[in-house]
Structure 1
Amino acid sequence: MSARGKARRRALEVLFEAEQRGTTPDEGITSRRASTAQVINPYTVEIIQGVVAEQERIDEILSSYAQGWTLDRMPAVDRAILRIGAWELLFNDEVPDRVAVSEAVTIAKELSTDDSPDYVNGLLGRIQQLKPTLLD
């Protein structure tokens, strides 16, 4: 697994954990740094800070194009995967769009339900198609 792939997973863990515990992702990063010798990849921090900074806009976009599901009804892990994927698609020009979608689908295959990869692919694929109109 690439360094960026590992960073995405770690960011997913922190975002998911923060939501489940009702804390902030920053508290999650601080806690991990204090309780482990594990080095947190700078890209993990960039993803988390990016998702937090753009979460309102990301959630608005996800809600607008999610068919049949509100954000609240989605599995929490899918919500976090979609937020990371949408952030990479819309706000990180260093990651090619197809890579952002592919990485999100791969994580969904490994960590979520059997239906999640197709749903993540469909929703992020739609956002990718509409990207030029979403960032006005």
Structure 2
Amino acid sequence: MTTIKLHPRRAARQCVLEALFAYQLSKNDKFEIIDGLVNKNSDLKDNYVFIKNLFNSVFTKKEWTENVIKSHLENWEIDRVAQIDKILLKMGICEIYFISDIPPKVTISEMVEIAKIYSTDESPIFINGILDAVFKDYLKENK
């Protein structure tokens, strides 16, 4: 049986997703969570800076990203959005706005693909729609 090796950045994003979800559940030290996950998987070490930057962006921009998400929800309350979807949206928003070496279309695609693994059947379409709208706003703001 062969195992599929993930692209290093996808594995890094999945690590951030796991860390943010674990933090919500446990409230343990955020850096202990990240370091623990990275230490368990040596393949993540090359992307440690990316992992920490994305994690910190989501963590420090929590209120702002929630407001961005709320502004794009139509006839929907943020409390009804699945936790995994909220985390993926926050990650995607932070990548689009604060991590300039990744094309936003790649970010959107990655969040959609991760949603296919970790969330509901409807989540990929939902995440794609929200992040695409966020990207359009980003383009308008950065003309």
Q: How does 1:18-57 map onto structure 2 within 5 Å?
A: 18-23=23-28, 25-32=30-37, 37-39=40-42, 40=45, 41-42=47-48, 43-57=50-64
Correspondence for 1:93 = 100
The alpha carbon displacement at 1:70 in A equals 2.7
Q: Percent identity, aligned pairs only?
A: 28
TM-score by length of structure 1 reads: 0.86
Cα-to-partner distance string for 1:85-104 (whole Å, 9 max, x where unaligned): 11111111111010010000
Question: Is 2:18 the partner of 1:13?
Answer: yes
Instruction: Write the letter of the residue equivalent to 2:24.
Output: E
Correspondence for 1:115 = 122
The alpha carbon displacement at 1:51 in A equals 1.1
CA pair 74-25 structure 1, distance change in 2 beyond 3 A: farther
The alpha carbon displacement at 1:38 in A equals 3.1
Query: Please, what is the CA RMSD of the aligned residues?
Result: 2.1
Match of 1:103 among 83, 102, 110: 110
CA pair 105-32 structure 1, distance change in 2 beyond 3 A: closer
Correspondence for 2:3 = none
Q: Secondary structure, in 3 states, of the residue corresponding to 2:61? A: helix
Instruction: Write the letter of the residue equivalent to 2:108.
Output: V
Correspondence for 2:71 = 64
Q: Which runs of 5+ in 2 are unaligned?
A: 1-5
Q: Secondary structure, in 3 states, of the residue corresponding to 1:94? A: coil
The alpha carbon displacement at 1:110 in A equals 1.1
Count of residues in Structure 1 that have an aligned counterpart in Structure 2: 134
The alpha carbon displacement at 1:55 in A equals 1.8
Instruction: Write the letter of the residue equivalent to 2:102.
Output: V
The alpha carbon displacement at 1:64 in A equals 1.0
- The structure with the larger Rg is 2
